Amino acid sequence: MTSADPTAPAVLDPRADIVELTAAIVDIESVSGNEKALADAVELALKLHAPHLSVLRDGDTVIARTELGRAQRVVLAGHLDTVPVADNLPSRRRVREGREELVGRGTCDMKGGVAVFLALAVEASDPPVDLTWIFYDHEEVAAADNSLTRIAAEHPEHLRGDFAILGEPTSAGVEGGCKGTMKLEVTARGVAAHSARDWVGVNAVHRLAPVLERLAGYRARRAVIDGLEYRECLNAVAIDGGIAGNVIPDRAHATLNYRFAPDTSVEQAEAHVREVLAGLDVEIEVSDAAAGALPGLDSPAAQEFLAALGGDVPVAAKQGWTDVARFSALGTPAVNFGPGDPLLAHTDDEHVPTEDLRIALASLRRWLGLPGADATLAS
């Protein structure tokens, strides 16, 4: 045992085995708001091992860029933070059904992707395209606190490129673009009365009947864009109303969530929901909205990326909203690509198959023309 300076950054070795590197990153706890130690460690590793990069620090976000004057620039971004720990740190390895897994908070969402990006940032000193690596904070909290919100506003040039790859878990497949999302508050008004004399009142809960009826009967659009199918969804995700057991409610309220295809603007999405509920005696207010992201798979940079990954890699539409939409809003087509099953994100049993880490690393090495594009699969 040596006595270490507790304020000194942890030391990460980006050239270590990818599973060891992932475990080391996972073991630096970084629940949203507590990313500093991990950001320090990432910044130090890049400064020590990647002299070909210019490294910027902005809050707890680390941005590292090549400046090689290439014709194209690709942005690779991964968030450093996790949702709260559920007694699942430090990480551990296990073998289940013959498959090795790294288990613990962040293994899937998305420190596996962060480890792959950190390894490649160090390896790719002479890439065919210029690269921007972004390791950012506050993704697992409100969008307003997400550091990409701040950077998009203050330094949009950091996010610009011809193509962007977000390291969110996709089981090392490609998930293109994402749907938009809108929250709407639907309120019905009535007149309170004693429930034994309802004829002097108007029941606001009953006034939501045709709202629910239209939602229940709604047939959602399926939009195919660049060969990917985005299935829209329109749902009541919450409902509430009622004053007391003997009172006719004078107010009832439902929250709707509309997930709309990325060929639809926020304005068009709102107009559509208003049309679905047209003629009903309710108030409708949009309380939150974020546009989707077009997959942009027909762009040259995206085509080169897909070609390098090979014909076997699964390519699908991303149904949930992710930060790819921020790049799309700046005109940069973006996809999600990372190790780990997205359905395991945030679960207590969060884990990543170690093979996913190796496949993701090998795939991106192939794309960047680096050695080790195939060998890792055999290890």
What residues are annotated to the active site? 81, 139
Pick the closer one to a second copy by CB: 65 or 253.
Answer: 253
Dump strand ranges (E) for 24-178: 54-58, 61-65, 73-79, 92-96, 99-103, 130-136, 163-166, 174-176
Among 126, 240, 298, 348, binds a second copy (CB under 8 A): 240
Cα separation, 97 vs 102, in Å, equals: 14
Pick the closer one to a second copy by CB: 244 or 375.
Answer: 244
Pick the closer one to a second copy by CB: 71 or 244.
Answer: 244
Cα separation, 325 vs 266, in Å, equals: 12
Residue 341 C-beta: closest distance to a second copy, Å: 13
| Segment interacting with a second copy, rule: CB under 8 A, options 46-54, 63-71, 194-202, 274-282 | 194-202
Nearest CA to 277 out of 207, 230, 180, 223 is that of: 207
| Segment interacting with a second copy, rule: CB under 8 A, options 26-34, 41-49, 134-142, 233-241 | 233-241
Cα separation, 75 vs 158, in Å, equals: 9
Contact call for residue 198 and a second copy (CB under 8 A): yes
Residue 245 C-beta: closest distance to a second copy, Å: 6
> Long-range contacts of range 22-25, CB-CB < 8 Å, 24 or more positions apart?
22/91, 22/102, 22/107, 22/111, 22/112, 22/115, 22/352, 22/357, 23/90, 23/91, 23/93, 23/102, 23/104, 25/106, 25/111, 25/114, 25/115, 25/118
Could you identify the residue written with the tokens 């798979």? 297
Contact call for residue 205 and a second copy (CB under 8 A): yes
Residue 107 C-beta: closest distance to a second copy, Å: 20
Contact call for residue 194 and a second copy (CB under 8 A): yes
Residue 95 C-beta: closest distance to a second copy, Å: 29
Residue 230 C-beta: closest distance to a second copy, Å: 10
Residues interacting with a second copy, by CB under 8 A? Answer: 179, 181, 183, 194-199, 203, 205-210, 212-213, 215-216, 220, 231, 233, 235-249, 252, 254-255, 257, 259, 288, 319-321
